[in-house]
Structure 1
Amino acid sequence: MSLRQRVYLANAVLLGITVMGTIAMIWYTYKTENLFTGIVVRHIPMYQTAESLENSLLNQKGYLSYYLLDKNPEWLRQLADFKLDFESQLSSAKPLVTEEWEKETLSRIESVYTTYIAAKDRVLTLYEKGDPGAGATLHREVRANFFKIYELCEKFKTAHKNAIDLSVEDSRSDARNLRYIGLLAIVTVVLLSLLINYIFTRHILEPIRKLAAEADHLGEGRVSGNEMAALKNSVHGLIENAEQTHAELMRSRESLMQSEKMAIVGQLAAGTAHSIRNPLTSIKMRLFSLGRSAKLSQDQQENISVISTEIGQINKILENFLEFSRPPKLTMKKQSPSQVVDNTLRLLEQRLKSYGVTIHIVRSEPLDDVLLDAGQFKEALANIIINACEAMKKGGRITITETMDSINKNRDTAVIRIQDSGPGIPVSIQDEVFNPFFTTKDDGTGLGLSICFNIISEHSGCLVLDSQEGQGTCFTITLPAGEDVHGKNSDH
């Protein structure tokens, strides 16, 4: 049977025993009520009536003899009182009888008693008329009737006494049986309770406990004495881990898509670079020679200058293609990123002044040394800072914050946050800013931030964008610190 069927069966048997025990108790109460009703309503009153009849009959014994001895009428008066009492008891017993033998017995008692009273009256009459011989003979007959009445009353009383005893014995027997049933029910309920506890412990709680322990191990849940609470916490931990894993998977997927795009762009750049750069170089040299040898008007010189500038722009685009398509060959060396930040700012000093941008560095102390390629990292920093300057068209402020954070469990992480006071990046395009060829500038190539992303990724770091419209943009660079952070070396 399945676990559900076993649990249902045990509960059904337990419920059945409880219902049967309840029915037995109710049945016993009704039976006991009937027994005691019969005893109290019928048998005891009838027993008391029979006993009263015996007493009234016994009280009548001897009064006639006492009167014949001393002729005192008081004896006859008392005898008359006991006669009335006997007749009254007999009359009160008649409405109580329900069975035929009871009616027959009372009828015989009444009949013999009537004969007994009539005979006593004749005995008295014979003695008063002076016929003591006949009176004595009849008197013996009266005594015989007396004992017959007494025997009938005793029989009537004994029958009801036996009925009372039988009812009491039936009640005791039912009580014993009920106790046995109750004891059996208790034992059965205890055994079933133990069985249910065993089933729940072995087949429900124990698997839940093991599952909670396993989930604690996998989901880093908090251990608790309550299995359900522990399982709940563990499942929450698993959900959190799953969310983190999903986030990492999405980042890996984005990186894979980025790599695929880079491969496509690399093929495109490699195919176009050799075909375009040589003719452009030749055109630029001919224009330079033409500008020096020919006598050109002012407008013609301006046109040649514009053409030369545009050729330079095309050449710049080709260089960006080539740089984007070929992963940078890093020359890794232990160095503080703070030093690279300072070198970059010195390099861009004049350009920052031309944009009207001020730089504010938040640094309690230089960042710890990490393995990095200073040239490539400087290029990524310069690209981010120049993008920020171009976004702040009327000048502004760039804040560079450097900290050492414990983001990774195994090592510290160098964090550089570059925050500008520009207009911010709309939410609708934030997911695309690192995509190749995506740009909002009229003369942009859309490869600057993609190159920055690739450089930081090659350093086993992470580049994250955080921006709100009207509140500026923040690029956060994280670089792992330690000896074995990259799994890469200077052979990149």
Structure 2
Amino acid sequence: MWWKTLGLPGRLFIILGMLTAIIIGIGFGAVWHAYRFDSMMNRFVTVDVAALQLSREIETELASQKGFATYFFLDGNVKWLSELAIHRMAFENLLKRARDLPLSEDMTALLDKIQAEFEDYVRGKDQVIELYRSGDHESGERLHWGVREKFFQLTEDCRMFRRNHEQKILQSLDETRSRARQTTGIVIALMALSAVLTGLLVFILFSQVLIPIQRLSRKAAHQNENAAEKPGSDMRLLSMQITGLIEDMDRTRTELQQSKQLLMNSEKMALVGKLATEVAHSIRNPMTSINMRLFSLKRNLELTDIQKEDFEVVAEEMRRLDNIVRNFLEFSRPHKLRKQKVDIAAVIDMTIDLLAYRLELHSVSVQKSVGRGLPLLDGDPELLKEVFVNLMVNACEAIENGGEIKIRAEEALIESMGRAVIIQFSDNGPGMSEELQAVVMQPFETTKPDGTGLGLFIAVRIIEEHGGRLLLQSRLGQGTTFTITLPAAGEESS
């Protein structure tokens, strides 16, 4: 079998390629479905709903013309005729508006019939009114009964016009539900295939990578014990070298993880934010629209018990899907704080050292002004460093080249916190408009083509979890300043 002839890299490449293709396919399918759904909803709102509303207005306006001739017969007041003329004109205007809609041939023919019947009805009604005016009440009353039959027929045709539009809307909704079911089935099938491929990938990794490594580790440990019994042997020397190498690697890895934890977290949050954005816009918004339509249908339609039960099943499944999406979004939340005594000046220095290459790449200089004897803070130095890195990276990207970042830290006495430390990051970049400042700290709001909109939102949350606050000040053409206020160790913000 050709699969057995492949090496480990080839097998991993094929499986990862298939998983990538499935993910890309799901993404393109979601975009296509969202586009089709948006087009369908635009047509539904701009054409079908508007036509239904207009048909209801036509029916209502026709009903409003009833009774005016009788009122005129009873008291002879011409104001009833004026009211009748107003409603006739309104009815004719509605018919003209209906002709501007993209109607089918059957609907156009029905509208022509309504127009002709209305004109015939108006002529008969005018004859009745003239007879009443001339005093021939008996002839007018006989003719009036015939006109009423025309009115009832006209009313039935208007009602049929409205019902046809209602039926068209129901057909559109059925089509939407059918496409949603098809899309759901495809996504479930692709997810099942992804699960199978993931299981195969895990099996290969365990059987051909992890288990052999574990055996090698046990063998190395066993050889280490033998070497200890025979001092001076080559095996003991090799074991000592391997052990020293492993210790050096562990120590280097620990230091690297500590110094680059922020970058790893930023990349992780970027991936999660990007995927969460796709999920929210491609799945949650259509789900919300479907829920609204289900609620509207359930409220407005006369349903049987079986139909009500079907509606409840659909609604429950939609709630379950919503919970799945919400649980996925919760995955991007950071871990709990690991508080300790923090020297904020040292955190600032570590941040500058960590970003030295990026600052040099963007030709950005840093001016630091840190007060002496700043009080220690109760906080997580890694998370605080994450906030500082985020603010400085944003400043570098905003300044582009040849700019300057000023960092200032000083002690202050804040009424709501007591002793506190204020840290400011200022740049001479282009600044932000008031509209952008109002939303820039909200999740998934970004001005970067490849951004996720999570950086500042997470920074605000981290500072608030430390009992502090993060404020933004910016003006177009005058740069941007972020001010962080954190309570000193032993102080509690109110």
Settle same-fold status: TM greater than 0.5.
no
Which structure: larger Rg?
1
Per the normalisation by structure 2, the TM-score is 0.42
